[in-house]
Structure 1
Amino acid sequence: MSALQRVGRWLAGPIPVSIVLAFLIGACFMLIAGVDPLSGYAAMLQGSFGTGAGLANTLQRAVPIIGIGIAIAIAFRAGVLNLGTEGQAGLGALAGGIVAIYVPGPAFLVLLLALVTAVVVGAAWGLIAAVLQNLLGVPILLSTLLLNYPARYFSSWLIRFRLDESSSDLVASDQVRPEVQLSMIVPRDSGLAETLRGSLGATNPVTAVLTGVNWSLIVLILVVIATIFMNRRTRYGFESGLSGQNAEFVRYGGVKPGPLVLRTMALSGGLAGLFGLMLVIGAPNTRLIEGYFVQTNYAWTALLVTLLALYRPVGIVIAGTFFAAIMVGSDAMGRELGLSPQIAAVIQALVIILLAFRVALPRFRRRRAGGEGAAAPPPLPTPGEPQPALTGAAVPEAPDTAAEKESE
């Protein structure tokens, strides 16, 4: 099959078709609201990728979505349904933020300690669910989902009643020292920034990205590369991938599921805590704000991104950037055309719903056709008569390996 044929086959697949249909349905909503869909989508594209500032905003918005999506994908790929990244990221951000704000010392050491603290706390919160499953048989799907609530309300209580800084109009902590923050890749007041603005222009995409996106983008790139390497070149990546496809096979191969679940939840929760902290102390953010992480809804957007990308790191990068562009572009569309930015949530939900429908429909049709066309079972043989050969015995349908290949 040629490259052109492969591209054409992918374009006719579930993901592109679902995205196009979602935008068409979104256009119907715009018409109902009295907005020209072409003008609306043009404003969305211009606001997310058409300007240097828009591109910088899109990348900055995509970092936590992709990072938490990678954390979810590591768990899902191993067959561990971790739905608790909101709590893991929130507690990691809280603990690391407290270290960054209140621990004295050299800025570099304080920042390093804050990052380590966020990873450890996020991993510890994830390990609670793993221990509950290994010792008591509590499903991780249920425990991780429920553990989001104590994490959310404890963070809210601590910021409101113990860390609140009275001079601020927000329910928020003291400010993070500027030298402890994750600064922009090129600080805006540096000589290099002035050189970039003078040579390329202040609105140039390169200038806007380097001076408008903090170092969390670089950390994200390293995490994505490390995840790809882990999945393809390490024993853990091999075992977790097989466990997600056939847990019984891995168990018979000598891999103990309990320790594998522990390692997976620790890694997934630690990454969630890391990116939760970077959202809090990455410039231009300077405070722990009550409910900030929950209100952004990054954890659940990351879950949609992970499902859309079928747990593949590169796919998560593409899908996360796509969803971030929709969110940033919807804000721009709201400013220019007066349309509610909630259209972004509508389009995201439609993409996932239509994708699930497109994937499930062919399987439903196959099962229905198999049920209607199945022959009646043969009569029981009469004792003493020769037994017929099993040449017509039904063979179980081979599983659809497309999703399995995508998850590797």
Structure 2
Amino acid sequence: MRKHIYRTLLAGDLLSWLGVAGAILAVILVLMLMVGAPVGEALQGFWSGAFGGRRYAYLMTTLSRAAIIIGMAVSVLLSFRAGLFNIGGEGQLVAGGLVAALTAILLPGPPLLVLAVSVLAAMLAGALWALLAGVLQLYVGVPLLVGSLLLNYPARYIASYLVAHPFRDVPSGMLQSHLVPQETWLPYFPGTRLDIGILFIAAASIFAVIYSHATLHGYHARLNGLSPDFARAVGLPVKKLALQTLAMSGAIAGLVGAIAVFGIHHRYIDGMLVQPLYAWTGIIAVLLVGMIPWAVPLSGFFFAAVETGAAGMERAAAVPKEIALVIQAVIILFVASRVSGALSVSAERKGADDA
């Protein structure tokens, strides 16, 4: 009986995945027909834009973008699995990136020490920004979903002010900070333009898998996510658990911000962490795979490939790169339908149990 149920569920999941894949392909074909683009050239441009290029330069771009998306997805994963709907990753990412850049610019000392202190400061900034949302929920009554979302805006505007006025690199003519010391830049892998920041993201992903499946704290967090009332009834310190989980989530977002500064941009540029929608894409990547830790890197890489591949289609076949946003919209609808279905089933089960 159990095997039959498992096979039924697996078949249902497979059909869902095939359905979303078919929907994505249909959307791509319709858009290409609308703009009159040759399908063969467009698909070839997509593949080349995501995985090709001279010395696989575009693949390096995909991996670099995937690292940021996966890092933000891991940040979201930790809080979501604990039942904490922290959607303030954008603010925590900005806080981390800004603090990392300013610390490296202002702190004297050996480059390696400056880099280490800057990364730790970025993680602390992200953790504190996430904790602020938790404190607002636990002690003021502001729902985490609302508080974490609203905290994105002061983080963005404070960062914009600081790089537009007191810490602006005026000669550059742009809204950005001065360059961090070159000695603190994360080195590239030999022969590529991919920095070693991706190794930090890989370590964060491994940490998320181990934490979720092999630690007592991760088990307690997951239990709280499944049933807060039960977790409270068995004596778990729910408030402490929530604050600790939010701190970890924010710290990883801050780490991602530091990697973007030291590995990609080498300074803080106004909007550099907001306009690419890293945080929001990370949320979609997590929900797409049902919050399964080991699948998050695959999902993040998929979204990065969609975005860089769309740029390749525009170069090769004049297909607007906004197609990537349309594809994400289709995936969001798919995710929303799955979440809505899961909530409906949960509500029906709860009603049956109460009866």
TM over 0.5: yes
Partner of 1:41: 43
Shift of 1:266: 0.6
Partner of 1:250: 231
Which residue identity does 1:13 align to in structure 2? L
Which residue identity does 1:31 align to in structure 2? L
Matches within 5 A, 1:279-290: 279-283=260-264, 285-290=265-270
Q: Count the aligned residue pairs.
A: 348
2:195 to 214, 217, 230: 214
Which residue identity does 2:315 align to in structure 1? R
1:366 & 1:242 partners in 2: Cα distance?
16
**Max radius of gyration: which structure?**
1
2:38 & 2:174 partners in 1: Cα distance?
38
Partner of 1:203: none
1:26 to 25, 28, 32: 28
2:350 & 2:268 partners in 1: Cα distance?
59
2:136 & 2:286 partners in 1: Cα distance?
25
**More helix as a share of residues:** 2
Which residue identity does 2:238 align to in structure 1? P
Partner of 1:340: 320
Q: Give the secondary-structure state (helix, strand or coil) at the position aligned to 1:62.
A: helix
Q: What TM-score, normalized by structure 2, do the two folds share?
A: 0.91
2:234 & 2:9 partners in 1: Cα distance?
37
Q: 1:162 to 1:8 in 2, by over 3 A?
A: same
2:217 aligned with 1:236: yes
Shift of 1:356: 2.9
Q: Give the secondary-structure state (helix, strand or coil) at the position aligned to 1:22.
A: helix
Q: 1:10 to 1:278 in 2, by over 3 A?
A: farther
Q: 1:397 to 1:38 in 2, by over 3 A?
A: farther
2:288 to 302, 308, 323: 308
Partner of 2:52: 50
- For the 8 Å contact 2:50–2:309, the answer to whether it is kept is yes
Give the % identical residues.
33
- For the 8 Å contact 2:85–2:144, the answer to whether it is kept is yes
Partner of 2:298: 318
1:157 & 1:325 partners in 2: Cα distance?
33
2:180 to 176, 183, 194: 176
Matches within 5 A, 1:2-401: 9=11, 12-51=14-53, 52-186=56-190, 193=191, 211-283=192-264, 285-357=265-337, 360=340, 397=352
- C-alpha offsets along residues 21-61 of structure 1, whole Å, 9 cap, x if unaligned? 12212211221111133432221122112341121111001
Q: 1:23 to 1:315 in 2, by over 3 A?
A: same
Shift of 1:358: 5.5
- For the 8 Å contact 2:38–2:317, the answer to whether it is kept is no
Which residue identity does 1:258 align to in structure 2? K
Q: 1:49 to 1:137 in 2, by over 3 A?
A: same
Q: Give the secondary-structure state (helix, strand or coil) at the position aligned to 1:164.
A: coil
- For the 8 Å contact 2:72–2:252, the answer to whether it is kept is yes
- For the 8 Å contact 2:41–2:316, the answer to whether it is kept is no
2:146 & 2:350 partners in 1: Cα distance?
36
Which residue identity does 1:113 align to in structure 2? V
2:225 & 2:153 partners in 1: Cα distance?
27
Over 2 Å off, 4+ runs: 5-13, 36-39, 354-367, 394-398
1:295 & 1:157 partners in 2: Cα distance?
17
Which residue identity does 2:49 align to in structure 1? G
